[in-house]
Chains A and B, each alone.
Chain A
Amino acid sequence: MGDKTMTTTEVGRSLPRLEARQKVTGRANYTHNLKLPGMVHAKVFRSTVPHGKILSIDTAEAASYPGVAAVVTGKDILDVVPEPYYGPAFHDQPILALNKVRYVGEPVAVVLADDPRIAAEAVELIDAVYEELPAVYDETEAMTSDAVVHDELKPAGTFPDLKHLNGRKDTNIALDFHLKQGHADAAFASAAHVFAHSFQTQQTMHTPMEPIISLAEPSGDRLIIHTASQSPSFVRSEVARLLGWSENRVQVKVGHLGGGFGAKLYIKLEALVAALALLCRRPVRLSLSMEEQFYTISKHASTFHIKSAVDKDGRITARKCEVLWNGGAYADIGPRVTQKSGFTATGPYDIAAADIDSYALYTNRPPAGALRGFGIPQLVWAYESHTDLIARELGMDPVEFRRRNILKDGRPHVTGTVMKDAAIDAVLETLAERMRWSEPFDRGEGTVKRGRGVAIGFKACVSPTTSVATVTVAADGSVTLHHATVDMGQGSDTAMAQIVAEVLGVRTEEIRVVDPDTDVTPYDMATLGSRSTFHMGNAVRKAAEHARTQLDDMAKSLGMAETAAGRVKEVFRRTYGMQAGTVVGVGTYIPEYVSPNEDGLSDNVTPFWMIGGTGVEVEVDTETGRTKLLKMVNAADLGTALNPRIVETQLSGAAIMQLGFTVSEEMILDGGQVTNASLADYKIPGIKDIPPVIENCIVDAHTETGPFGAKGVGESATFGVSPAVAEAIQDACGVRLTRLPMTAEAIFHALHGDKK
């Protein structure tokens, strides 16, 4: 057993991911590999109109197609789920469309067949007739539109702060969040300078390489759901709620995920396969194609109006933010994004007075949810672009302007929470140093111009949330960890095992980590928002310490020694007279937290802050608009790294993903129809699209409340990418873009003025 005071040996070690060999040799356990005896395949028939009343669905021809087992519509679902509406914030999403459809691609019916190709062919034979209703797509229009997506708001009962929205009618505003700190109006009235800008982001998609998949298997009076989910505990409780069952009748099992990024949270296909399995009394498999993912979940498009009051010395005295989030047809987790991200809209700056208004809006687009950053990249895009524009107006160096206004530890954030363990200034200084900001810069020649930019951002962690873990020590001293954090490629199994190994003084590689299975692994809120290292990490540490305490007590009562360290096998043998017995350590973690009051204020709004920033150097071909990234530096405060090498890949991965959203990715809509819903036409960055130089910097930091000083890191390097690129483009060639993505063509039009 390890000693509490010894230097760490397992934590901080850059060992490879535990499952790496299994993955590269094709042996890792993915839900896609699972074949159940007697299972049928489901294929979804989707709406072709953006908003309409369902007049009829003709399924006769599909039902009589050879090989088809059944055709199911929303009405059939009612036989097993009388109230078939689900969602984490609002119970607004039907398992299959009922009475109305609200976006092109919404599931309307399902064909079940033994052969997935038969199911796909039969889907083509279904005919639905709709009475089209006026539709709304734009978030600004949705604020006042006559087209109303939902007749009535239906907040989930689990969130007390949504209760006032219950039954609200004739509005597309699913949630409005407001924060008021100090006297912003007075500060604006007396300001030396006032700056106002507006920024927009586009709708994009997660594109996990493993598309969304779920299977449901009836088993006696129970149901087993095998699913590629980031939130097995939520799936269990939500499916149990829909069925009116106790939670222990629903078992949710998750293997490795081929990427998640927020696409596989809450309920995606699980409620549908559960209902289908109960209807046809057979195991049902539903695997989406890459194309269908575009009709399932996406990242919020947004519009952000930002206004700052600045004094004669270049200090920001007040800021007003209005943020509109385009949530699409169903709320998913959008209202949480609106609030939990909304309150950071003024940025990591020391500002005494602020007004924030943040609105979650329904539109007739595919639903938007959480995507690597939970709304923060949209906010940072706006407030850091705004920051650079102010610095330009004031004639100040952009890094110097940030230094003058930066929010330091010990100072209050606009919510009233005093900053702690938030190395914002260290992230900025690391970027400035690695970008050689104070040194002369080559500006290119002829028609090819060079420029550079830096941007920083921060994020609060969604709170309060709970994680539970158990650590089991067998009589031979071997250790098993049960926890429901889902490893979707981020390396969480490895990091959690490192924590256990550190506490129990064993090698990380010897620890068995059990895949999430709600029959076995205890509750966890979900794998999202970079919460796992901190929350589950703390729970795992407590569980390991609990196991160690029990072992030590056994050793003491045998009169052996003060600790069981190094003699666990002997302790068990002497306690039970043979190699027998089990020690189970349990750890539960929920951080302290104070809910914001009616002004959006709280003196403890987050368990920790994530800080990230990016610097880029670009080269713009001013004749064509084509822009190359020559260098990218990412820096983050993630506390003390549990596994530095995995952390670096989290930083580069996040930054490259956001680079796609910055320069190319966009879901193009025509009359509500996504016209580029495939990887042939929706391009994510390939190896030739990423900068030749990417540096990833872990700033020296420690999080007092984190496990061994660590905190979350999965999203931090997304924050600064977009505004840093926008500033670098302006630095190079003088044009400022305020809408993403910043394509070569958009830069060309900005330079040459001749809009298409």
Chain B
Amino acid sequence: MSFELISPNTLRDALDLLDVDDPSIRPFSGGTALRLMMKSGVFSPSKLVVLRGIPDLSGIEISDDGSLTIGALSTLAEVETSALVARQVPVLAGALKHLSNRRVRNVARIGGAIAHGDPHMDLPPLLSALNAEVIVESRNGRRHIAVEDLVIGYYETLLEPDELIVALRIPAQDDWHSAYRKVTARSADDWPALGVATSISHEGKEIRDIRLVVGAATERPTRLDISEGVLRSEGVAGLPRAVEAAMESVEVMDDSHGSATWKKALLGVELRRSVEEILGRNA
């Protein structure tokens, strides 16, 4: 159970400490998720690489094209209270206010929250709907991965053990409008039992394009392709069919948060409500 705790001062040093062949060496930022896994004995690290001392990995910036770049070591609270975030992606600021509790948000880092791969999280489905991407670095260089592609299974991501998320990039939302609706089953600050993220590009009630992502109730954040197709072709009139398609096509898990039967019903209700919310809000 003993392990080594190392606190590098530069990104380069941190990346040098990671090892593509050794998953027992793990980067450690806020620790809110990893510490729980360590406490329950699910994960026993040999080495933890503490990222907190690395400068230049936090901060939130806006580019000329209106996209936001959020440093991976920004705490959730920093993102929640950022004026830039509130202006450019208000749905993210709103979702963070209801993510876990203030104590967690004050220490959890946005990079860790995306890299964790636990299905019961709010940010992966929401950032997928926002068409966000992460910038990932290793000793061998950088790559960009769409958040939507990042999580490939239950606690499984595309990240290699020697890679770090260094930043999150959220494109300008222009005429896209978004909602995130979630249900917690056991307490208000519980992990979500279901999260539905919806982004719609529309004019009045006319839907031009749409991105629908369900999380928490599924093994990984899942794009609702069929429902999107229905809404693109039929517009809001197709909402009942889109809801039905979502409930039929998505594989919902039974777990300690609730049965698949219940969560499937929740998915239908929350999907319908989020589309109605966005179109109603911006009508």
Contact = CB atoms under 8 A, between A and B. Distances in A.
Contact of B262 (A675, A680, A689, A749): A749
Contacts of B270: 624
Nearest to A680: B36
Contacts of B260: 756
A623 B269 contact: yes
Interface string A716-756: 00000000000000000000000000011100110010111
Nearest to A690: B188
Interface stretch (B51-59, B109-117, B251-259): B251-259
A668 B185 CA distance: 15
B247 interface: no
A683 interface: yes
A745 B258 contact: yes
A743 B265 contact: no
A752 B40 contact: no
Counting contact residues on chain A (CB < 8 A from B), the size range is 20 to 34
B269 A676 contact: no
Interface in A447-492: none
B187 A683 contact: yes
Interface in B232-268: 254, 256, 258-262, 265-266
A678 B39 CA distance: 10
A686 B261 contact: no
A91 interface: no
Contacts of A749: 261-262
A676 B265 contact: no
A624 B265 contact: yes
A508 B40 CA distance: 47
B111 to A, nearest CB: 22
A686 B187 contact: yes
Nearest to B272: A623
A259 to B, nearest CB: 18
Majority SS at the chain A contact face: loop
A676 B256 contact: yes
Interface in B174-193: 183, 185-190
B183 A743 contact: no
B283 interface: no
B256 A681 contact: yes
B46 interface: no
A173 interface: no
A688 interface: yes
Contacts of B256: 668, 675-676, 681
A686 B36 contact: no
A624 B183 contact: yes
B131 to A, nearest CB: 28
Contacts of A744: 183, 185, 262
Contacts of B183: 624, 626, 744
A686 B258 CA distance: 20
B189 A688 contact: yes
Given A117-B1, A120-B1, A756-B254, A664 B259 contact: no
A754 B187 CA distance: 24
A625 B185 CA distance: 10
B62 to A, nearest CB: 32
A745 B262 contact: yes
A685 B188 CA distance: 8
A749 to B, nearest CB: 7
A684 interface: yes
B101 interface: yes
Interface string A620-658: 000111100000000000000000000000000000000
Contacts of B258: 745
Nearest to B270: A624
A659 to B, nearest CB: 11
A117 to B, nearest CB: 7
Interface string B21-41: 000000000000000100010
Nearest to A676: B256
A233 to B, nearest CB: 36
Contacts of A623: 265, 269
Interface in B35-83: 36, 40
A664 B184 CA distance: 11
B187 A624 contact: no
B186 A683 contact: yes
B261 A756 contact: yes
Nearest to B273: A623
Contacts of B185: 743-745
Contacts of B189: 686, 688
B1 A683 contact: no
A3 interface: no
A683 B185 CA distance: 10
Contacts of A117: 1-2
A678 B259 contact: no
Contact of A689 (B1, B188, B259): B188
Nearest to A668: B256
Contact of A748 (B40, B101, B187, B262): B262
A121 interface: yes
A625 B1 contact: no
B259 A683 contact: no
A588 to B, nearest CB: 46
Nearest to B41: A124
A138 to B, nearest CB: 21
Nearest to B188: A688
Contacts of B254: 756
Contact of A686 (B2, B188, B259): B188
B258 to A, nearest CB: 5
Nearest to A666: B186
A624 B101 contact: no
Contacts of B265: 623-624, 748, 752
Name the residue in B40, B186, B258, B261 with the highest tally of chain A Cβ atoms < 10 Å from its Cβ: B186
A748 B186 CA distance: 14
A756 B188 contact: no
Contacts of A675: 256
Contact of B101 (A678, A681, A686, A755): A686
A209 to B, nearest CB: 14
A683 B262 contact: no
Interface in B157-202: 183, 185-190
Interface in A393-442: none
B187 A756 contact: no
B266 A756 contact: no
Interface in B101-123: 101
Nearest to A755: B261
A472 to B, nearest CB: 44
Given A744-B185, A745-B185, A756 B262 contact: yes
Contacts of B2: 117
B1 A624 contact: no
A203 to B, nearest CB: 16
A633 to B, nearest CB: 22
A561 B242 CA distance: 92
A625 B262 contact: yes
Nearest to B1: A121
A121 B101 CA distance: 32
A689 B189 CA distance: 9
A756 B186 contact: no
A746 B259 CA distance: 10
A756 B36 contact: no
Contacts of B266: 624
Contacts of A625: 262
A643 to B, nearest CB: 31
7 contacts: A664-B186, A680-B36, A680-B40, A683-B190, A686-B187, A688-B188, A689-B188
Interface of A: 117, 120-121, 623-626, 664, 668, 675-676, 678, 680-681, 683-686, 688-689, 743-745, 748-749, 752, 754-756
Given A120-B1, A624-B269, A675-B256, 16 more contacts: A117-B1, A121-B1, A681-B256, A683-B186, A688-B187, A689-B187, A743-B185, A744-B185, A745-B262, A748-B262, A749-B261, A749-B262, A754-B261, A756-B254, A756-B259, A756-B260
Nearest first, the 9 A-B pairs at minimum CB distance are A756-B259, A688-B188, A683-B187, A683-B186, A745-B262, A623-B269, A756-B261, A745-B258, A686-B189
